[in-house]
Amino acid sequence: MIGDGAATPDSNVDGLSDADLVELYRQLVLLRTYDERSLVYHRQGRIGTYAIFWNHEAMQVGAVAALDDDDWIFPSYRESAIGLLRGMPAHTVLSWWRGHPSGWWNPADYNVASICVPIGTHVPHAAGLAWGKKLRGEPACAIAFFGDGATSEGSFHEGANFAGVLKAPLVLFCNNNQWAISTPLEAQTAAETLADKAVGYGMPGVRVDGGDVLAVHEATREAVARARAGEGPTFIEAVTYRVAPHATADDPSVYIDQERVEAERRRECVGRFEGYLQRRGLLPDELRDSIREGAAQTMRDAIARAEAEPDPDPALLFTPALAAPPRSFDHDLAELRRVLADK
Amino acid sequence: MPTSELTLVEAINDCLHHELGRDRNVLVMGEDVGRAGGVFRATAGLRETFGEDRCVDTPLAEAGILGTAVGLCMAGWRPVCEMQYDAFSYPCLDQLINHVGRYRWRSGGTMEFPITVRMPYGGGVRAPELHDDSPEAYYLHTPGVKVAIPATPADAKGLLAAAIRDPDPVVVFEPKLHYRTMRGAVPDGEHVVALGRARIAREGSDVTVVAYGAMVPVAEQAAAALGAEASVEVLDLRTLKPLDEDALLASVAKTGRAVVVQEAPRTCGYAAEIAAVLAEKAILDLHGPVLRVTGYDVPYPYWKLEDAYMPSVARVVDAVRKLLAF
């Protein structure tokens, strides 16, 4: 662990050029802006219920920066906008949160799986993808993002166990923000650390400061190197703190210590990295401002584009469901159109 | 076409050998399918012929099997997952309902999930608890998933081949009672029975007995037992979803009467779906109510009681008589 931002040594970072560091910052700001604007859009009624990821950006940016584009990302809803780091348009993700089919994407276009809403059930998918790539002799690996609560799920266990047995090139990335809605970590597990669970799957488990984008990057890079070397999966426990509600429908004031939240908010991950870059002289004010403005403009354009989408055709109920659909779909759609026309 | 006399499980094994040989993207995975060749020997020889990467002994975890199969599809594979027994498959329903049936839809129809799930199902084999269930309704109720249940060795091969080649997820239930007790002519080599096509197992004119899987022989025996008393048509559905509605309606239009037989418990079973389709679309053809002969709404019993639970020839005969007397 490199520690908190103030203690980060002002030296070269292994494997990352100065330009790479600024790019990490641009990505952090893009995700931060996405998240902050989404909360506003939700309150304006422009998107639906939204899972906030404020102060989780360093984990997502640091980990994805350690991957190749051929590597697959399996996000949970907490990483809903992670596709932006692979060039996915922001309006696609906003449309997803608007419940609109224009929020669909082909996972193979970005090597980003669909957002997994049920907890931990995508961990076996990531293990299967990684195993399948390995069987094909392709070098790609996979990373699955999930939270501390997911480690209680059977699917997490089954996916991790399969990956261990099959030596699948997989990174299990646990965002331990210490809360599963209102359930704190100590009510989730009796294990001393979540990384300890890795032992049971025969894989290394490492802990890293989830608020330190460079530490996350380094831990993920090492895990990816192991995966590509045929040494199998790694479990990364990135420790952070959830300083926002679980989602827009949640009111944490009834269960969380607000003083702790305020203290954690003051150490938030984007500001830490910004301070580091400024001390290194890599982020002049004009550059910082232009990066922020670029992200803000991206979001203005994205929400306008998402809101300009026409209402989806009812045929979209049926057409994506099956490659070889039954005749009943044609009949159902015709009946639906007739009733809609009569209305 | 040249044929061989095979048991039902031999026909499945023959199919798997043929399909793995035909398409190098097909792999078989499950508990004990590799070294042991499956607890029923359905996958025997595959590991020797195609290697341990294409006939994989997985850890003992049904959601893990189906969940990793989803990821395998994303990597271009066409996994054939064996669930060791009907009731042992329930943990995989998490993946089936949350992902297998939905993933194509949530990708906007852009990504295919050509997963085949196959499992032995049904009772009558004097087995311990939870080796006897008929769980098809749980699978049938899941959108995005097709379901087939063969009744003969030839169909066991042909429907499984169709499932493996289908671009969508297909669940194939295999009547384990007949794995070795039923033998029949099976086409050699390539043999595909298209999904969604029912089969008239026996022609008749007074009443249609609709059945699938292990209940088809029961229906046939009932028809034979009734002899000249009633001319019974036995319709073997073969694919439950999508249903061959044309074949069902044509048969009932001819006979005017329908008895639906299912081994599974009654409430919300597939027989209810058949009855509903007939009520919606065949009401003017019907001379009497659609009757169901089903398992009861109780847990599948210990085996000293299973003969009382299972729909029997006598119960089907009784239902046909009631309907003719209506």
ipTM of this complex: 0.96
The pLDDT of residue A9 is: 56
Where does A5-312 sit in CATH, by number? 3.40.50.970
Give the E-state strand segments of chain A in sequence order.
72-74, 142-147, 170-176, 179-180, 183-184, 205-209, 234-239
Whether the CB of A314 is below 8 Å from some CB of chain B: the reply is no
Do A158 and B64 make contact, defined as CB atoms within 8 angstroms?
Answer: yes
Task: Respond yes or no: is residue B99 known to be catalytic.
Answer: no
The pLDDT of residue A13 is: 76
Mutation test of the interface with chain B: which of A71, A158, A166, choosing the one with the most B Cβ atoms within 10 A?
A158
Do A158 and B72 make contact, defined as CB atoms within 8 angstroms?
Answer: no
Q: How many A/B residue pairs have CB atoms within 8 Å? A: 146
Is residue B9 a contact partner of residue B180, using CB atoms and an 8 Å limit? yes
Tokens of A236: 């990364």
Whether the CB of A202 is below 8 Å from some CB of chain B: the reply is no
Going from the C-alpha of B84 to that of each of B32, B42, B132, B315, the distances in angstroms are 8, 10, 12, 30
CATH of B199-324, one of 3.40.50.920, 3.40.50.880, 3.40.640.10, 3.40.47.10: 3.40.50.920
Whether the CB of A159 is below 8 Å from some CB of chain B: the reply is yes
Q: How far apart are CA B115 and CA B232, in angstroms?
A: 37
Marked catalytic residue, from B131, B141, B178, B191:
B131
Tell me which H or E stretch contains B235: strand B232-236
pTM of the model: 0.97
Instruction: Sketch the domain layout of chain B as residue ranges.
Output: 3-187, 199-324
Do B109 and A320 make contact, defined as CB atoms within 8 angstroms?
Answer: yes
Whether the CB of A322 is below 8 Å from some CB of chain B: the reply is yes
Is residue B313 a contact partner of residue B234, using CB atoms and an 8 Å limit? no
Equal fold, B3-187 vs B199-324: yes
Per-residue pLDDT of B199-214, as tens digits, reads 999 999 999 999 999 9
Tokens of B317: 């005969």
Report the residue from B66, B99, B110 with minimal CB separation from A106: B110
- Helices marked H in A171-230: 197-200, 213-228
Closest residue in chain B to residue A96, using alpha carbons only = B106
The pLDDT of residue A342 is: 84
Do A125 and B67 make contact, defined as CB atoms within 8 angstroms?
Answer: yes
The pLDDT of residue A10 is: 55
Q: How far apart are CA B128 and CA A26, in angstroms?
A: 61
Question: What is the average per-residue pLDDT within B55-67?
Answer: 98
Do A128 and B61 make contact, defined as CB atoms within 8 angstroms?
Answer: no
Instruction: Sketch the domain layout of chain A as residue ranges.
Output: 5-312, 314-343
The pLDDT of residue A8 is: 53
Measured between beta carbons, the chain A residues lying within 8 angstroms of B60 are none
Do A154 and B107 make contact, defined as CB atoms within 8 angstroms?
Answer: no
Tokens of B275: 């009855």
Range with the poorest average pLDDT among A1-10, A74-83, B225-234, B306-315: A1-10
Whether the CB of A204 is below 8 Å from some CB of chain B: the reply is no
Neighbouring C-beta atoms of residue B246, cutoff 10 Å: 12
pLDDT tops 90 at residue B224: yes
How far does the CA of residue B280 sit from the closest CA of chain A (Å)? 14
Q: Which CATH superfamily is domain B3-187 in?
A: Thiamin diphosphate (ThDP)-binding fold, Pyr/PP domains (3.40.50.970)
Non-local CB neighbours of A94 within 8 Å, separated by 6+ positions: A38, A41, A47, A103, A302, A303, A306
Whether the CB of A149 is below 8 Å from some CB of chain B: the reply is no
Per-residue pLDDT of B87-143, as tens digits, reads 999 999 999 999 999 999 999 999 999 999 999 999 999 999 999 999 999 999 999
The pLDDT of residue A11 is: 61
The pLDDT of residue A15 is: 86
Closest residue in chain B to residue A119, using alpha carbons only = B98
Do A131 and B68 make contact, defined as CB atoms within 8 angstroms?
Answer: yes
* pLDDT tens per residue across all 343 residues of chain A: 344 555 555 566 788 999 999 999 999 999 999 999 999 999 999 999 999 999 999 999 999 999 999 999 999 999 999 999 999 999 999 999 999 999 999 999 999 999 999 999 999 999 999 999 999 999 999 999 999 999 999 999 999 999 999 999 999 999 999 999 999 999 999 999 999 999 999 999 999 999 999 999 999 999 999 999 999 999 999 999 999 999 999 999 999 999 999 999 999 999 999 999 999 999 999 999 999 999 999 999 999 999 999 999 999 999 999 999 999 999 999 999 999 998 6
